[in-house]
Amino acid sequence: MSQRAKTNEQRRRTKPEMRIGYGWDSHEFKSGIPLKIGGVTIPFDKGLGGHSDGDVLLHAITDALLGAVAGPDIGSLFPPSDPQWKGADSVVFLQEALKRVKQAGYAVGNLDSTLILLKPKIGPHTAEIRQRISKLMKLAPDCIGIKAKTPEGMGTDNAAIAHVAVLLVAKKANKRTSSR
C-alpha cells in the first residue's frame, strides 16, 4: 500500500472531532389546529398543517441532527404515508435523532436556527422556545440560537419555514484511570 493510500485509509478510520448538520423544513398554515413551534404551543388562530403536529422547527432540528451523522432523513424514518405518525408529537422524531447522534459517539455542541414567517411574532416566545429545546436536547440555553424573520418578497406569507444548523462534538473515549 502506498504512503498516500495509507494516509487515506487512516483518515477514513479517524472519527472527525466535529460534524456539522443542516436542516430545513416548511409547513403551510391551516385554520383550526394548534400552532406548535419548537415544542411550544403559541397562541394564534392558525396552526401548521402536516401529517404530524407540524412543528416546523423541531423537524428542521431533527433533519440537521440526522444529516450531521449521515443518517436517513426525517421523511425516511417517519414516512407521512405511515398512519402511526398522524398527529404525532414531533418530540418523538427529535428523540430518535438524538439517539442516533449519541450512538455515533457525538454530543450536540450548539444549534442555530432561523424561522421565516409573517405571523405571529416569534420574539415574545423566543425565551420559552429556547427553554423547551434546552430541556429536550439537554443543551444549555446559550447554545441555542432562535431567530425569526418575515418573508419579505418571498411570497410565502401562509407558510412557516425553518432553517437549522447544528454542530456535533465527538465524545471522548473513556480514559483508563491509573489508580486501577
Please give the residue ranges that form the binding site for Mg ion (CB under 5 A): 25, 59
Least distance from Mg ion to the Cβ atom of residue 50, Å: 5
Compare residues 106 and 116 and give the one whose CB is closer to Mg ion: 116
Compare residues 51 and 170 and give the one whose CB is closer to Mg ion: 51
Name every residue whose Cβ is closer than 8 Å to that of residue 69 and which is 6 or more positions away in sequence. 19, 21, 100, 101, 104, 106, 168
Least distance from Mg ion to the Cβ atom of residue 162, Å: 9
Q: Which amino acid is at 175?
A: K
Compare residues 54 and 106 and give the one whose CB is closer to Mg ion: 54
Least distance from Mg ion to the Cβ atom of residue 66, Å: 13
Compare residues 48 and 68 and give the one whose CB is closer to Mg ion: 48
Least distance from Mg ion to the Cβ atom of residue 58, Å: 9
Q: Which residue is nearest to Mg ion (CB)?
A: 59
